[in-house]
Every structure is written in C-alpha cells, then in structure tokens.
Amino acid sequence: MTMALAGEDDPFKDPSLAGTQTPLSQQDHGDRVAGTTLAVGRNASLTLGTDSLIVLDEGLLETRSANCCGISLTPGKNKTTRSIPFFNILWAEHSEDGEIVIHYAHAESKHAVRPAIISYELEQKEREYTDAWIASLLDRAYGPSQRRKRIKVLVNPFGGKGKAQKLYHRRIAPIFAAAQCELDVERTQYNGHAVEIAQNINTEAYDVIACCSGDGVPHEVFNGLGRKDDAARALARIAVAQLPCGSGNALSLNMNGTNSPSLAALAVVKGLRTPLDLVSITQGDKRTLSFLSQSVGIVAETDLATEHLRWMGSARFTWGFFVRLVGKTIYPADIAAMVEVDNKDAIRDVYSAESSKPPPSYDDRPVPGTETRLPNLKWGTVNDPLPSEWELVPHDKLGNFYAGNMAYMSPDANFFPASLPSDGCIDLIRIRGDIKRLTAIGTLLAIAEHKFFDLDHVDYQKISAYRIIPKNQPDGYISIDGERVPFEPFQAEVHRGLGTVLSRSGHMYEAKGV
C-alpha cells in the first residue's frame, strides 16, 4: 500500500512532506525508488516525517494490544498512528528472513526511556526498497553523530551510594546495546584507578570513555588522558561522557541535559563530538587538568566541609551556603587574572554570537599527532614570577571565588549561564563576603530564579588564566572539580578545545544562557 495513506483527510499526513515526496533513494541512494513511506504488511506503513518516524498500523486499532509489534498503546485509545522522534531511534535493520526491525528508546516517563522494538514482515516487492529506506531513517536518526560508537564504560561501584552498577545494567547498557555500540566495561577498583585506565588506554581503539559515576571519575579520566605520551591526540579523539550515577553529575547535566541515567545513555548514543576547554592547574610542583570548576571560599567550603550534613541530601549545599552567607564569612586572597571579557554586556554578546551559529556538522579541529603531549604552559606555573602583564589585586573582603567551565554545577544551580564549551575562557564569579545579609539571601534565591548573572554585586568576567593566593587564614578549602586540594596558591590556564565531550548541540551547554 505504498503512499496510499497520504489522503487529504489523513491524520497522518505530514504537512512538511507536501510537494516534497521525491523518493529519498533517488536523492541519497542511487536510482532505487523508495519514498519516505515504506509499506509494511497489508495495513501498516512507516513514514519519515519532519522529525519523527510515523507508524500507521490499522492493526493497532483492532488488537488494542498492549504490545503489538513492540508498540505500546494505551488500551481504549482510538489510535492507529504514532510517532517516534528520530532522536529516539537507536537502530534499524533488514533481517535475513525479510523483516524490518527498528529499535528505539521508548519514553516510559519524563525521566526514563527503555529500549523497545517495532518489527514488521516486509512484502516481497518492498524488500528491495528497504535498505535505502533504512539508510534514510538512520541518517535522520543520527545526523552527524557517529553511529555504533566504541565505548569504554567505567563503572564506579561506590558511585551514587553504591547504585551505579545496578543503574548501568538496568538503565544504561540496554540502550547502548540496542544502538549497536561496541562496549568494553570495567569497574573502577580504587581511588585513582580511572587515571590509570585512561593513561593506558589505546587511543585508536575507543571513541568514548563513558563514566557511570559522579564528576570524580571524569576528572580522573581527563587527567589520565593528559598523562599519555599522545595526550593531545587522546584528548581530541576520545570523548569523555558521563552517565549520571553519582552525587554530583554536572558533566551530564551540561552535556546531556539530564540527571537520568537512561536519558543520558540516549544522549551519549546521539551525542555530537564537542571540543571542550580544559584548564591546567599548577599547585606546588603538580600540574593537573580541571574540566568543571575551581572554587576558593564559600563554595569550596560548602561543598567540602558539609560532609556531616549528607543526610540533608541536596539541601545540604543550600544550607551550608546560607549559613556562611548570613555569617558574612570572608576568604581574603590576592588575585591576578588575564581578563578576556570584562563586562556583562560584552559577555552577552559573546554568548549570543555563539548560540546563533548553526550546529557544527563535524569536529574541525586538526587531530594532533601521536607524539603530542599536553600543550606547554603559556604563563608558566604558580612557582614562576608573576607574568609582567598580570596585576596582583588584593581582595581583602572576598566571599566567593568561583571559576566555572560549565553552566550547571548542580541540577538547580546554573551558576555560569554565559559559559561556552570552547571559547578559550573560564567564567569567573567574585562576590564580596561583607554584603548585607538581605542581599546575601537574595543572591541565593537568584540562582534558582536565573537572575544571578544580572545582580550588581556579582562580578562576572571571562578570563583565560589566573593566579590566586589565599591569605590571612591558617587553613581553608580549595576545590578543583569538587575534589579538595591543599590550601595553597595555585595558577590556572585555559587550553582552548583541548578536550572532547559529547553534547546534544555540538557547541553549547544544555542550560539557559544569557
């Protein structure tokens, strides 16, 4: 019943197809004719719509089956059609015994998907068109995203209060398998294990390292890749992804736009390679890489010194922040920075210029050679004299020093709405510690209401390097990507697009911008 469905009154007619019914196979696959619609069986068809696969099946009405050909329909609903967004299509194949089998991620709820299958027996005359039609479906389903990614999966068995293993097997692995990804799964055995795994990985053998963990394991993976003899190549070739299974899941929130393991798995399957700025931190004689944030003062202390409040769940951070804000705690330091964009209007312009670009269709960075280690430090280390271009400015009443490379720091905290994955900058927030209590409380509320960026007392700049020297405090907290480091001066330098992640857009974070 080829094309018999596109009648005037047909609810299933896709207006976007009007007048554009050029057989896809003629456009894309030589001279074999297969339209956007594939007839499957006597009373069913599959059509490539604007952004979804449209399934029309008269049989659905008759049977009202809860699981007819893999399609779940609510009994009693008079529907013979349904659409499956191309984004949810995981795979499609033409089996040897003449069936078309389509694997997709079925939305169980707003927060979870699970793999499901539609399969139909093909009529003899449709068989020859099917391969071209499947190729068109997969083109739409994947766009420029790589298919059948080769994924090294790292599972932190202690991540997310010990749930990561179960989440991987129940929610993540089935999606990867249905999408025909090549998987190599390993459990991390001890703290620092992911550094070693990444350091020893064969750069050419994997496309992705996906961490079923919080943000600690991705931090280790970036650092392990950074230690390789071909560090720059490995960081450019292997994308680091997170399947959110920890207590802090910022990487997934920013790149996948979700805290849900199964939705994140789908986002990774469909993710576009995206260059990510990485930040070299030098402290003492150590050089490490940071992908997420550095904080000195209130945020570091709230994050690291409130372990005893874990029972509070996510309220712990808000409470810890509130107590210090109201207490007008100050964290004095001297700071020198290479400022790239120094005011909020100009920052908005930078952000809009990037967000208005079309999504890139490929990763256009040159791939570094096999002997390319980490880039040299343009500004030296924290142990070198302060670069002559920099000026050390005393911040005697500093309350919050927070440098962010991504937007979301936690699900309800889009602290750095203007941040961009590869603008060569880290966004820096500074707030005085002696602001009025009422203003302080307003600041906290403003984060949730997306008004934080605009507050006058929130100093927000884009910088490419800095040095911070805490002073007048015997001890305190410094956090790099959520991990505590010694309370000593450190220096940071951004390397534009040194790392790689997978994102939905290819160039932006999944957070509301400015």
Question: Locate tokens 């299974």: which residue?
Answer: 245
The minimum distance between CB 222 and ligand ATP, in angstroms, equals 12
Q: Which of 47, 213, 405, 491 touches ligand ATP by CB under 6 A?
A: 213
Please confirm, yes or no, whether 277 is among the known catalytic residues: no
What count of other Cβ atoms lies within 10 Å of the Cβ of residue 364? 7
Q: Which stretch binds ligand ATP (CB under 6 A): 225-233, 240-248, 267-275, 290-298?
A: 240-248
254 sits near ligand ATP (criterion: CB under 6 A)? no
What count of other Cβ atoms lies within 10 Å of the Cβ of residue 155? 25
Q: Which is nearer to ligand ATP, 313 or 385 (CB)?
A: 313
Q: Which of 157, 387, 411, 442 touches ligand ATP by CB under 6 A?
A: 157
Q: Which of 217, 253, 403, 502 touches ligand ATP by CB under 6 A?
A: 217
Which of 202, 144, 153 lies closest to 175, judged by CA? 153
160 sits near ligand ATP (criterion: CB under 6 A)? yes
Half-sphere exposure of 300 (CA within 13 A, CB side): 26
The minimum distance between CB 215 and ligand ATP, in angstroms, equals 6
80 sits near ligand ATP (criterion: CB under 6 A)? no
248 sits near ligand ATP (criterion: CB under 6 A)? yes
Q: To 5 degrees, how large is the angle CA 174–CA 249–CA 452?
A: 140
220 sits near ligand ATP (criterion: CB under 6 A)? yes
136 sits near ligand ATP (criterion: CB under 6 A)? no
| Alpha helices (H) along 100-230 | 124-142, 159-162, 164-167, 173-178, 193-200, 216-226
CA distances from 498 to 155, 234, 239, 354, 492 (A): 25, 10, 11, 18, 14
300 sits near ligand ATP (criterion: CB under 6 A)? no
Q: Which of 14, 215, 363, 423 is catalytic?
A: 215
Q: To 5 degrees, how large is the angle CA 508–CA 403–CA 288?
A: 95
Contact 487, 470 (CB under 8 A): yes
Q: Classify 462 as helix, strand or coil.
A: strand
188 sits near ligand ATP (criterion: CB under 6 A)? yes
489 sits near ligand ATP (criterion: CB under 6 A)? no
The minimum distance between CB 369 and ligand ATP, in angstroms, equals 31
Beta bridge partners of 499: 276
Q: Which stretch binds ligand ATP (CB under 6 A): 242-250, 281-289, 467-475, 488-496?
A: 242-250
The minimum distance between CB 183 and ligand ATP, in angstroms, equals 19
Q: Which is nearer to ligand ATP, 116 or 240 (CB)?
A: 240
The minimum distance between CB 163 and ligand ATP, in angstroms, equals 9
224 sits near ligand ATP (criterion: CB under 6 A)? no
Q: Which residue is nearest to ligand ATP (CB)?
A: 214
What's the one-letter identity of residue 156? N
- In degrees rounded to 5, what are phi and psi of residue 294? -135, 135
Q: Which is nearer to ligand ATP, 192 or 424 (CB)?
A: 192
User: DSSP letter string over 22-49?
Assistant: --HHHHHSTT----SEEE-SSSEEEEE-
- In degrees rounded to 5, what are phi and psi of residue 246? -120, -165
Q: Which stretch binds ligand ATP (CB under 6 A): 13-21, 128-136, 153-161, 406-414?
A: 153-161
Binding positions for ligand ATP, rule: CB under 6 A: 156-160, 188-193, 213-217, 220, 246-248
Active site residue ranges: 215
